[in-house]
Copies of this chain bind each other. A is one copy, B any other.
Amino acid sequence: MHDSTRPSSQRKRRDIFQAAELVFLRDGFVGASMDEVAQLSGVSKQTIYNHFGSKGDLFVALVSWMTTSAGDWVRPEPLELPEGTDVADYLEEYAVRQLTAVLDPRLLRLRRLVIGEVSRFPDLARALWENGPERAIDALEGLFGRLSNDGVLLDTDPHLAAETYNWLVMSAPLNKAMLMGDDHLPDAKALREHAREAVRVFLAAYRAHP
């Protein structure tokens, strides 16, 4: 609702986001209290309503801010297999990076929150889908298409292959984390082993037979 470029305004805006993140992630959308956000951010309630028009608007802005600002967790640059690199090694490395990024507790809580609010904020959930899984799958699809042309992978639908690989890597830890909380996350070794097995299964089904 406001567009002040004053430095103090920008600072306050960021403080509001930080407090809102804490409160919304802890109490959910309905359970969160704007008074607490105000108090925790050291900002008056009126100021919040000047920056964001309503509780719902603040929530939407917060989720967008969290997904884009921490948007490094999905590689924007297209995936490319460096010359002379083993496919298995490359895919395994990609899997480990992606897993450690997505299994960040902050992102897990955000994901739970957005999933719980699907019926109230369907657009947010859709945005999270498109910036998360869909973007990752699209990036993989590009890579797999090229690998098919090079005769490394079978000549099948690259999108289907990308989907399969993405979920082979992500689904078991992610779905478990969704329900089991942040206290049962796999450690680095378990993650590595999971990634290796995912790559093994994927290549068994999609590698071209020479």
Chain A residues at the B interface, C-beta cutoff of 8 Å: 26-28, 30-31, 109, 112-120, 122, 125-126, 128-129, 133, 160, 163-164, 167-168, 170-172, 174-176, 178-181, 197, 200-202, 204-206
Of B133, B179, B205, which contacts A201 at CB under 8 A? B205
| Contact of B125 with A181 in the complex, beta carbons under 8 Å | yes
> What separation, in Å, do the CA atoms of A172 and B172 have in the docked complex?
11
Q: Report how far A109 CA is from B116 CA in the complex, Å.
A: 9
B-side contacts of A160, CB under 8 Å: 197
Q: A164-B168, A164-B201, A168-B164 are in contact. Are A180 and B126 (CB under 8 A)?
A: yes
Instruction: Return A115 CB to nearest CB of chain B, in Å.
Output: 5
CB-CB under 8 A from A206, the residues of chain B are 201
Complex: how many Å from CA A30 to CA B205? 46
Is there an interface contact between A179 and B30, defined as CB atoms closer than 8 Å? no
Q: Which 5 interchain pairs have the tightest Cβ spacing?
A: A116-B116, A171-B171, A204-B205, A201-B205, A167-B171
Cross-chain contact B114 with A179 (CB below 8 angstroms): yes
> How many angstroms between the C-alpha atoms of A115 and B115 in the bound complex?
7
Separation in Å of the A98 CB from the closest CB of chain B?
14
Looking at chain A's contact residues, is the secondary structure mostly helix, strand, loop, or mixed? helix
Judging by beta carbons under 8 Å apart, are A178 and B119 in contact? no
Q: Are A181 and B118 in contact (CB under 8 A)?
A: yes
User: Which residues of chain B are within 8 angstroms of A175 by Cβ–Cβ distance?
Assistant: 133, 167, 171, 174-175
Do A129 and B30 have beta carbons less than 8 Å apart? no
Bound-complex Cα distance A118 to B120 (A): 18
- The residue in chain B whose Cβ has the minimal distance to the Cβ of A124 is B179
CA gap between A172 and B166 in the complex, in Å: 9
CA distance A112 to B114 in the complex (A): 9
Residues of B with C-beta under 8 A to A116: 28, 112-113, 115-117
A170–B200 CA distance with the chains assembled, in angstroms: 19
Q: How near does chain B come to A202, taking the closest CB pair, in angstroms?
A: 8
